[in-house]
């Protein structure tokens, strides 16, 4: 979606280390550090996706292939005993699955992607996500711990309350005030909740657009959220900056690029509404929660049955940290 075609390059600066993602001519994804192996200069200065056959450093024009090989060095004869093959881009382990690119932000780490669950990839293939169009994106900078930003996407309890003036009202048929079905795939969660118009019989019709009747909210461990809607799908990557700050990259995907004024108007309106709902309601709530918790005002917190996926999420984090500290 972000790199839909072979021969594309995009930088990602949200993780504290500069990342460069490429899709080579053969369509394979690569993840590198966005740093020239000459003197460390950032090769790509912004985060726009672009079509390039090589990546050229703006400083001394060292040129790299999209597979990371160093292929061009101006005045190479002026280096002593220089061997281009010894200075490729620094590679990080990566894998593409269900339209998403997974990476491990440590060049020395083993490429262990056992965390990526096949069922999620199958779901995303069925939803068509790998081929969807990136309609719009926006970055949010939040004053909250990243786990508190994740929480509202793990429960439906708040929907009729926090979103009472936007997507929550019963009359809008968008969400029912019920416990959703939460399925776990490894450390990932898929929550399925019927919209107001949902009836079990709708599933008998293979022609229906499931997104009109059911909302799927995926929490991909540890920090990605995917939520379906009738006309679009939201993808959010929730990146911790420090214990009290979080960066969220929000992406709105549509099945196709808008090809008529009505579709453009619908997508534009959806983009505005969803940013308002997430930005001014969910993210705002996370910041309010952070303020209260950081002050030490409450000794502990309590979760109800409609929020059951939240303690499971924390157990998952603790399990990973425990395993990490024992290894
Ligand atoms: Fe919400």
Give 178's pLDDT tier (boundaries 50, 70, 90).
Answer: low
Q: Is residue 96 part of a domain?
A: yes
Task: Taking residues 250-268, report their average pLDDT.
Answer: 95
Mean pLDDT on 222-248: 95
- The pLDDT of residue 168 is 64
- Is it the case that residue 268 has pLDDT exceeding 60? yes
pLDDT band at 239 (very low <50, low <70, confident <90, very high): very high
CA distance 249 to 226: 12
Are residues 158 and 277 both part of a single domain?
Answer: yes
129 and 90 inside one domain: no
Does the residue 1 lie in any domain? Answer: no
Of 17-31, 185-199, 206-220, which one has max mean pLDDT?
17-31
Residue, of 171 and 95, whose pLDDT is higher: 95
DSSP annotation of 278 reads I
Q: What is the mean pLDDT of the chain?
A: 92
Query: How far away, in angstroms, is 117 Cα from ligand 1 center?
Result: 25
CA–CA gap between residue 222 and residue 199 (Å, rounded): 32
**Å from CA of 205 to ligand 1 middle:** 29
How remote is the CA of residue 282 from the centroid of ligand 1, in Å?
5
Pairing of strands 8-12, 70-72: unpaired
| Three-class secondary structure of residue 203 per DSSP | helix
**Cα of 288 to ligand 1 centre, how many Å?**
14
The CA 159 to ligand 1 mean position distance, Å, reads 5
For residue 54, the CA-to-ligand 1 centroid distance in Å is 42
Domain end call among 103, 131, 165: 103
Query: From CA 71, how far away is CA 57, in angstroms rounded?
Result: 12
Cα radius of gyration (the chain): 22
Q: Are both 19 and 47 inside the same structural domain? A: yes
Q: How far is the CA of 168 from the centre of ligand 1 (A)?
A: 9
Residue 21 CA to residue 246 CA, distance in Å, equals: 22
Residues 6+ apart with CB under 8 A from 58: 41, 43, 45
280 CA distance to ligand 1 centroid (A)?
10
Do 122 and 229 belong to one domain?
yes
CA 239–ligand 1 middle distance (angstroms): 18
Buried b (16+ CB within 10 A) or exposed e, 138-153: eebebebbbbbbbbbb
Clarify whether residues 122 and 212 are in a common domain.
yes
C-alpha 158 – ligand 1 centre gap (Å): 6
CA distance 161 to 41: 48
Strands (E), 158-211: 181-185, 188-194
Identify whether residues 197 and 52 lie together within a single domain: no
CA 146 to centroid of ligand 1, rounded, Å: 15
The pLDDT tens digits of the residues spanning 116-129 come to 988 999 999 988 89
For residue 311, being part of any structural domain is answered with no
Question: Is pLDDT of 172 > 70?
Answer: no
In this prediction, residue 175 carries a pLDDT of 65
Instruction: Judge if 143 and 262 occupy the same domain.
Output: yes
Task: Report residue 180's pLDDT band, with 50, 70 and 90 as the boundaries.
Answer: confident
pLDDT above 90 as % of the chain = 75
Distance, CA 84 to ligand 1 centroid (Å)? 51
Q: How far is the centre of ligand 1, averaged over its atoms, from the C-alpha of 278 (Å)?
A: 7
In 3-state terms, what secondary structure has residue 141?
strand
pLDDT band at residue 160 under the 50/70/90 scheme: confident
Separation of CA 96 and ligand 1 centre (Å): 28
State whether 75 and 131 are in the same domain.
no
Q: Is residue 319 in some structural domain?
A: no
Phi, psi of 268 (to 5 degrees): -65, -40
Quote the domain boundaries for residue 97.
8-103
59 and 133 fall within a common domain? no
- Distance, in Å, from the CA atom of 213 to the CA atom of 230, rounded to the nearest integer, reads 8
92: tokens are 């990080």
Give the Å distance between the CA of 5 and the centre of ligand 1.
Answer: 33
Pair 94, 127 in one domain: no
Ramachandran angles phi, psi of 192, nearest 5°: -115, 125
Number of domains the chain is built from: 2
**Pair 182, 53 in one domain:** no
Q: Of 52, 71, 131, 55, which Cα lies nearest the Cα of 98?
A: 131
Q: What is the CATH number of the domain that holds 66?
A: 2.102.10.10
Question: 165: CA distance to ligand 1 center in Å?
Answer: 12
Ligand 1 centroid – CA 316 distance (Å): 22
| pLDDT over 90 at 151, yes or no | yes
| 17 and 40 together in one domain | yes
Length of the chain: 327
């Amino acid at each position: 979606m972000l790199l839909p075609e072979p021969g594309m390059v995009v930088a990602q600066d949200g993780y504290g280390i500069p990342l460069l993602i490429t899709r080579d001519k053969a369509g394979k994804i690569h993840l590198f550090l966005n740093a020239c192996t000459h003197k460390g200069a950032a090769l790509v200065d912004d985060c726009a996706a672009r079509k390039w056959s090589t990546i050229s450093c703006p400083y001394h024009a060292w040129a790299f292939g999209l597979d990371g090989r160093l292929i061009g060095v101006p005045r190479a004869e002026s280096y002593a005993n220089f061997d281009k093959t010894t200075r490729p881009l620094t590679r990080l382990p990566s894998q593409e699955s269900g339209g998403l690119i997974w990476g491990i932000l440590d060049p020395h780490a083993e490429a262990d992607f056992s965390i990526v669950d096949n069922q999620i990839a199958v779901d995303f293939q069925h939803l068509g996500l790998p081929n969807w169009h990136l309609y719009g994106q926006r970055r949010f900078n939040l004053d909250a711990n990243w786990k508190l930003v994740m929480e509202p996407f793990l429960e439906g309890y708040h929907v009729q309350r926090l979103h009472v003036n936007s997507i929550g009202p019963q009359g809008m048929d968008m969400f029912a005030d019920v416990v959703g079905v939460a399925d776990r795939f490894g450390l990932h969660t898929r929550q399925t909740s019927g919209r107001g118009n949902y009836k079990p019989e709708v599933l008998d019709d293979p022609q229906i657009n499931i997104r009109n009747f059911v909302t799927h909210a995926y929490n991909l461990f540890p920090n990605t959220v995917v939520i379906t809607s009738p006309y679009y799908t939201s993808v959010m990557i929730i990146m911790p900056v420090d214990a009290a700050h979080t960066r969220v990259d929000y992406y709105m995907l549509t099945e196709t690029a808008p090809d008529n004024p009505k579709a453009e108007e619908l997508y534009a309106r959806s983009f505005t509404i969803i940013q308002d709902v997430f930005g001014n309601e969910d993210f705002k709530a996370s910041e309010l929660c952070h303020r209260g918790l950081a002050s030490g005002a409450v000794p502990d917190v309590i979760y109800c049955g409609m929020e059951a996926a939240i303690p499971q999420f924390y157990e998952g984090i603790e399990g990973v940290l425990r395993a990490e500290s024992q290894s």
